[in-house]
Structure 1
């Protein structure tokens, strides 16, 4: 299936939402041969819950948008892949006391991967999504990932794992736009679904009840255990560590007469550890399963985000061997960072540019902060020419 002569075929991911709809419309305006693709990832109950991405009504809206734009639209079943690479690891992570980042896993192992494979099948040179991020070429012409102009909507964090050869085929039409501009454009174009709300929860847990979702799928693996205070005393009991995350304050099931936070989870002993606000601060993080740009060298001076809504903190990233002899990376912050959670993703930036990142294996104590970290604000990142 080849593109018409003289035209660049672009496969655009269509979720039925405002962002992907405007992205597709802009690609059509630019003269591309646009093909809309929707991935069917999950089966949803008929519970009336709205505001979730990838739901059945969104697939219908995606088709309405492509009909309005006059472009072809295809839906592909990827439910088994989504279950294997997103849902099952999500359940496992919570049972192991980690807080996963399923949207990163979905982009890495399902959405982006499948879009490139489908693009090859359908004769498309490029793929496009409605992410708020930018792809820019450096002085050597190599494609690099950058933050989106709209800092409140920036989604570069979720795409940090993409390599230069993948970025060279990725088009992000909304990278220089704000959400308000995109919404107004969708309304002005009279695109179907232009006024629909934002997706607020994970697509496969529209209720937001992660604990119930995990318990339902792992009933024979859930273990009750003790809740300990900062002195190691038993102050309560719980029905499973999957119901807690580091930094959590509400819904602990205990009253200590003072504010208490989850500061640690030990799945091996099924223990939830509570502490004060100060106990939540970490001096660094060990990260694994990393992906770095090919021009990055270490030690690396960068700003590091430890979760999607975290304002990046100055740090030094160093390469080290762990106890098993395998390579891992250690992030040392200039100042302590709150609620560094195993399972989340740490992403390094230099200005607006994404340098890479990986999964947090462990938070490190404040005492682990490198003495040299104090010089970070005055140094330039170690990025090889």
Structure 2
């Protein structure tokens, strides 16, 4: 009887050994070409796996972790195929957030993949990323298109002008650099820059980037641009500031010789000198009378001439004022004729002074700046050198500017 009990007990013990669960250590196990992580209870974790011997992504709730083959968490940057991830020291794969690393910024997508070689909307703004995932700043290309991203925060610029190394660029509503297009009265050329001082079809953009309006001297020739459309005038005649121009099929204008009888006695050179517009004539006489004077002295001489045009004691036309008999010696000593025949003699300063004087004349502005002080030249009709003033024994009060004295009445 005892022998039967011993046999039964042995049978039960062996059965227990066969059927009892065996405890195992947590480990990676290979299934085909994929490694799967089993915990220490032998349970397969729910996860997304990749064909790798060392890396496994495990999702726990809303957080994804990354483990090595030995069960330890992965840390830092991780590249899997063409994708790039960032794993915290705790093994968490960052998702849907900005990453700062090594002084550079990256952004991890919802899946944890860092954006690379693309332009992406994050929140309310677009950002660009290079092939390494680094956030772009400044002027940069993304998939063959040029954008600009603010250097401070990386946000993409759109519908705005940006000055880069002294050149003005425009980026459109989609952020792409504009080319060969009119934008806000500027022309964006093939390089994406605003054009200056150049022809654009039948328009000409000036130093401010806007189409020129009215009369303009370009490369030694006169052109007239419609004040509404900005297009050049062709095959037509037009009078501007008392001077008549004839424009050919290319828009180039020539001055029609003035055949009107002057209202006062004039020097013979009035008829024989080259016919030019008022601003050029004014620049030439300023050069002859005050070419060696400081800029404010040149402007003052020009203003005496335009002041005479307002005075009932002198002609109302600039040309008649300049050529009136015995008024300005350059009209009869040959100096003015030489300057008009060779306009390269006229200095840039005198040309600038003439342009300023013409603007002041049209806007009734009589004030000039002299060494930081404002001088009002209204009603000043005469000027000469101080020695000449003394020789003539004149007694009227004057204002001295440079080598010239300026006064209102001759007495």
Larger Rg: 2
Higher helix share: 1
Question: TM-score interval w.r.t. the shorter chain?
Answer: under 0.3
Name the structure, 1 or 2, with higher relative contact order (CA <8 Å, separation 6+).
Answer: 1
